[in-house]
Chain A
Amino acid sequence: MKLFVKLGKHFLMSVLIVGVSLSYVYANQNGLKKQDSLMGERWNFRGFGTLGYAQTDKYNDTFFRRDISQDAVRVADDPFLLDSRIGLQVTGELSDHWEVVLQTVLKQKIDTELSDYINIAFARYTNTANWQLTLGRQPFDLFLMSENRNVGYSYDWIRPPVEFYGALPSDSFDGIKISKTWGGFEHDWYWHASVGKMDEGFQLSVPTDTNSFPQELGPISEIRGVESTKIEPIYTTGVTWTSNNWQLHGGVSWLEIEQQLDFANDFSLLVNLFSGLWPDLVNISDQLLGKNQIRHFGLGAKWESGPWKLQSEVSHVDSDRASYQGQRGYFSLSRRYDEWLGYAVLGYANDGSSIEYQAVSELDLPSDPLIQAVLFATQYEIDNRLAALKQNQTSLTLGVRWDFASEKAVKVQCENYWFEGGSNALIDRVNGNYLKDQSQAWCSFAFDWVF
């Protein structure tokens, strides 16, 4: 029995290792076939992969994860799961105007429905004036890297800056996009507008604190449920200007979001029972569980000249919610020396999310100790959820990439994070550490390739 439990625990890891091996064999064989391909070929089958190892379990009271779609506990148990993934893509050019793209990505995710492994599935029509209409599941064009953050080989670092990208559970949306490219050979413009929806699972890093939790309610176990985010509609528009050295990008989006948190039913019951005693419960419920609007503004710039690269993005989020607000950004500098590349990245997230409420200790409570215990426990859970939705942190990453062979690279990086107290979105902290300012360092290794 123990053997089966152990096998099950490492099942995904085993699948990843087998998949990585098979795709590597395929890459070597297919490389020869591609050299013999002719111009008339309209179908293209390619893929990408990363085999990564990160010190996710270096601290036994603080676990690290790449983005909020990952299961922090699984990643801590299996440090190979943080960055390892495999992707396969089929591109079909049906005519000069129509093409289809299908991409599937296998990686560690909290949500494992079959459709969640389909990252891209769209059909695109291009007319002779370079207008495009894209239908289906497609990447966001909101950020410089929102379309390729699964493809480790395509960027310098092991993972895109988590302050900027870690709060996004998905890379793609289901919908329709119209876009236009124009300009000359010196530089070109790209504009797009889209409407669509997204339904993604994610996980809150709810801290487990046996000291603060009211003992009257008994011991609490690990509280790490699967939450879901339903975003509909999503309206986006943006423009990108590209020249030989520069890429400048600006985008805005407006969306409506509804999160189904694991404690929603219990919390609704508490609101019905105790809103008379604690009137702020209604407002708290609306901001945590209601359908709210988010307005997102982003700017990005990339500059490359010879061996030097600079890349930076900033965003401002204005939200009616109690989560995902404020400013996020990063700045990266890279320098190449033949096959070697050194890089440094600064990341920053300032999430101003909060809910103003009157503390339970300030209320005029009845003398029943059970009611008091329930209300204090409710406040404790609310604070936990708010901390689990906030991301106030700064990081410095230093790393090296070695392109030791064609379309293959290994990377080593170390990063130091400074987390503000009450901010818990991307790390899983236990024993009350989420209340404190904290500094932690992790190192990671990755092997990236495309085939």
Chain B
Amino acid sequence: MISRLILRLLLLFSTHFIAVVAMSSESKWLVVVHHESALTSLTHKQVMSLFLGRAKFLPSGERARALDFPIGSDVRAGFYQSLTGKNIADIDAYWARLQYSGKASPPVPMSGSDQILQLVGKESSAIAYLPSHLQSQIAEHGLKVVFTIDSQQ
């Protein structure tokens, strides 16, 4: 009984370890908008404000519609770690505070990169992020990159 429990715990910790390693392997993130958007570039602080709900409008004046990867996904955790330097648990706690006081709503979680590519390609007010290995698909979906985040930033 005890040995089974220990085995389960070891499995749990090893899964966490693999997830962390996989998450940290992505080195670059591309912040993307519709190719007809008036935006040409964003700064690191502007991106942070948009994805943390502190800015509700794009610098071009349009209402910002930020899109997210699924809650609990490694991609999402890696992006926010690179963007803010914070653990995803702190980001989720931050959003819980804003959301349940009725002050702001978090970026809308999508099912994955395919849905993000499609929606940003249709909506001029949408803003999202993608892992850099999807760079080749950005132009073909009608998107453009307005900021690049290195994991070291």
Contact = CB atoms under 8 A, between A and B. Distances in A.
B105 A44 contact: yes
A186 interface: yes
A151 B90 contact: no
A306 B85 contact: yes
B101 A139 contact: yes
B73 to A, nearest CB: 8
B87 interface: yes
Interface in B55-95: 55-56, 59, 63, 65, 67, 70-72, 84-90, 92-94
Given A151-B100, A185-B45, A35 B65 contact: no
Contacts of A304: 86, 90
Number of chain A interface residues as a range? 35 or more
A153 interface: yes
A343 interface: no
Given A304-B86, A338-B87, A405-B72, A147 B45 contact: no
A427 interface: no
A388 interface: no
Interface string A208-245: 00000000000000000000000000000000001010
Contacts of B70: 35
Nearest to B111: A35
B126 interface: yes
Q: Give the residue among A89, A101, A155, A406 with the most B Cβ atoms within 10 A.
A: A406
Contacts of A338: 20, 87
B89 A48 contact: no
Contacts of A269: none
Interface in B21-61: 43, 45-46, 48-49, 54-56, 59
Given A120-B102, A185-B45, A336 B90 contact: yes
A44 B56 CA distance: 18
A403 B87 contact: yes
Contacts of A89: 99-100, 102
Contacts of A242: 54
Nearest to B87: A336
Contacts of B88: 406
A92 B92 CA distance: 21
A36 interface: yes
Contacts of A39: 65, 67, 108, 119, 123, 126
B45 A186 contact: yes
A397 interface: no
B139 interface: no
Contacts of A122: 102
A120 B103 CA distance: 12
A44 B94 CA distance: 18
B92 A153 contact: yes
Contacts of A103: 100, 102
B81 to A, nearest CB: 10
Contacts of A38: 119
Q: Give the residue among B85, B93, B94, B123 with the most A Cβ atoms within 10 A.
A: B93
Interface in A393-422: 403, 405-407, 409
A403 B45 CA distance: 27
A154 B123 contact: no
B11 interface: no
B100 A406 contact: no
Contacts of B133: none
Given A155-B93, A244-B45, A339-B89, A35 B100 contact: no
A89 B99 CA distance: 9
B102 A35 contact: no
A186 B55 CA distance: 10
A91 B99 CA distance: 9
Contacts of B71: 31, 34-35, 406-407
Given A120-B102, A185-B43, A185-B55, A407 B97 contact: no
A153 B99 CA distance: 12
Q: Give the residue among A31, A150, A341, A407 with the most B Cβ atoms within 10 A.
A: A407
B7 interface: no
A306 B86 contact: yes
Contacts of B45: 185-186, 244
Contacts of B10: none
A147 B72 contact: no
A173 to B, nearest CB: 13
B96 interface: yes
A96 B93 CA distance: 26
15 contacts: A31-B71, A36-B111, A39-B65, A147-B103, A148-B96, A151-B100, A153-B92, A154-B100, A156-B93, A185-B43, A185-B45, A185-B48, A242-B54, A403-B87, A407-B96
Interface of B: 16, 20, 43, 45-46, 48-49, 54-56, 59, 63, 65, 67, 70-72, 84-90, 92-94, 96-97, 99-103, 105, 108-112, 119, 123, 126
Q: Lowest 8 CB-CB distances: which A-B pairs, in order?
A: A406-B72, A403-B89, A147-B101, A154-B96, A101-B102, A154-B97, A185-B46, A35-B111
Given A148-B96, A154-B97, A406-B88, 10 more contacts: A35-B110, A37-B109, A39-B65, A46-B100, A89-B100, A89-B102, A122-B102, A338-B87, A339-B89, A403-B92
